[in-house]
């Protein structure tokens, strides 16, 4: 009998309490960078019943209407009166300026903090992303679209999807084993209608996009408690930065621990993680591995990365040490080099869009770190 290995990833909707906070933090960042591209931002949000608290450190030359940004984002996400949380909530602003001890190192082009960042790529999908993460994200994107268009009139903003894949011993995807989907709903809808609508209108089209059949899924858990009326920050408090695995690879690759949302690009937690994805994707696309993970590390106030590490999990066609040497020559991995290469301070760029549906492997928006613009250089360096 063939041995199966299982792997699971999850994704949450823009209406999840933590994701509300991520989007608020990045909306404030966007407002700062729009009028002052040199803004220093480290903005956190906390949401609970009837209240959003904004904190952190911001140094900018522009004025940001925090109250307006918070209320507009909550309305955009889809919360209305009667749901236990809406735009008519209290907003407490406790932001202050960045510590001069930190800015002293950043001003000279150094990293805004020490830390480790990871990026990865794998040939399970066309976008070189882990399939379990792509499927769970696709389900949430489809669900959100139908909720906002009112095609699923019973659905409310808060939701979670989870997909378990079965692999063979060689790492080949055999199929979808289990799908878990919990969707906040109104009082009137029945469990039967919820299950029928979600399977037919949400899950089925997402699976078909990747040549998978809904009839071959072994098990479904749809709203497994039987009721999900109370949701959003009224059901659970939300906090910026608590969904970092969803933001990246769904646990398929390692994560350094630093969150992205609310941080300007001088924070290497964010910018270097994007750069690591850019590097790994180009390595896989160049044909030197089918699965690749890149680790970068930095010291506060130091310009160059402390270390570069490449892991190809036995799929590499050349020495990992040679790939690391090529990376240091091809990519400018100083904080300012990353900012420039990936246009991370471009005023028209919307970080809040990343906060809603993930920062890595997106195909619905044009992201600089998803470009395969270094494939030729990598091939030249490693030939």
Cα–Cα distance, 290 to 286 (Å, whole number) = 10
336 is in an annotated binding site: no
CB 335 within 8 A of CB 279: no
| Residue 159 assigned as binding residue | yes
DSSP 214-269: GGG--EEEESTTS---S-HHHHS-EETTS-HHHHTTTTSS---S---TTB-TTSHH
Nearest Cα residue to 44 out of 96, 116, 105, 102: 96
Instruction: Please indicate if the annotation marks 227 as binding a ligand.
Output: yes
**243 is annotated as contributing to ligand binding:** yes
User: Tokens 């289990």 correspond to what residue?
Assistant: 178
137 is in an annotated binding site: no
Give the tokens for residue 22. Answer: 């991520």
* Residue 335, beta-bridge partner list: none
| SS3 category, 189 | coil
Q: Give the span between the Cα atoms of 26 and 294, in whole angstroms.
A: 25
> Is 158 a known ligand-binding residue?
yes
**57 assigned to a ligand binding site:** yes
267 is in an annotated binding site: yes
349 annotated to bind ligand: no
Q: Are 17 and 230 in contact (CB under 8 A)?
A: no
Binding residues, by number, are: 16, 18, 44, 57, 98, 158-160, 227-228, 236, 242-243, 259, 263, 267
Binding residues for K(+), by number, are: 44
Binding residues for Mg(2+), by number, are: 18
Binding residues for ATP, by number, are: 16, 158-160, 227-228, 236, 242-243, 259, 263
Binding residues for L-methionine, by number, are: 57, 98, 236, 267
């Amino acid at each position: 009998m063939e041995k199966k290995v299982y792997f699971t990833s999850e994704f949450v909707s823009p209406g999840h309490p933590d994701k509300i906070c991520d989007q608020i933090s990045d909306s404030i960042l966007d407002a700062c960078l729009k009028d002052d591209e040199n803004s220093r931002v480290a903005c956190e949000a906390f949401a609970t019943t009837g209240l959003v608290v904004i904190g952190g450190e911001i140094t900018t030359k522009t004025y940001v209407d925090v109250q307006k940004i918070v209320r507009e984002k909550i309305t955009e996400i889809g919360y209305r009166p009667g749901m236990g949380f809406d735009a008519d909530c209290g907003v407490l602003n406790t932001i202050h300026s960045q510590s001069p001890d930190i800015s002293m190192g950043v001003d000279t082009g150094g990293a805004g903090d020490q830390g480790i960042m990871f990026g990865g790529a794998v040939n399970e999908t066309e976008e070189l992303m882990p399939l379990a993460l792509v499927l769970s994200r696709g389900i949430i994107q489809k669900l959100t679209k139908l909720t906002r268009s009112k095609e699923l009139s019973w659905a409310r903003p808060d939701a979670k999807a989870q997909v378990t894949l079965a692999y063979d011993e060689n790492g080949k995807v055999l199929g979808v084993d289990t799908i878990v989907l919990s969707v906040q709903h109104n009082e009137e809808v029945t469990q039967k209608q919820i299950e029928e609508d979600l399977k037919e209108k949400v899950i089925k089209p997402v699976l078909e996009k990747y040549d998978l059949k809904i009839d071959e899924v072994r098990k479904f858990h749809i709203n497994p408690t039987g009721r999900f009326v109370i949701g959003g920050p009224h059901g659970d408090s939300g906090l910026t930065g608590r969904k970092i695995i969803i933001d990246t690879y769904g646990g398929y690759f390692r994560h350094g621990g630093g969150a992205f949302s609310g941080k300007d690009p001088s924070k290497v937690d964010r910018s270097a993680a994007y750069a690591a994805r850019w590097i790994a994707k180009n390595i896989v696309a160049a044909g030197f591995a089918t699965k690749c993970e890149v680790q970068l590390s930095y010291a506060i106030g130091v310009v160059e990365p402390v270390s570069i590490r490449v892991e190809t999990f036995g799929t590499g066609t050349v020495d990992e040490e040679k790939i690391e040497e090529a990376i240091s020559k091809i990519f400018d991995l100083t904080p300012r080099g990353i900012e420039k290469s990936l246009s991370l301070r471009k005023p028209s760029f919307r970080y809040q869009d990343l906060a809603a549906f993930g920062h890595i492997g997106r195909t619905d928006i044009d992201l600089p770190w998803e470009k395969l613009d270094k494939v030729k250089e990598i091939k030249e360096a490693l030939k």
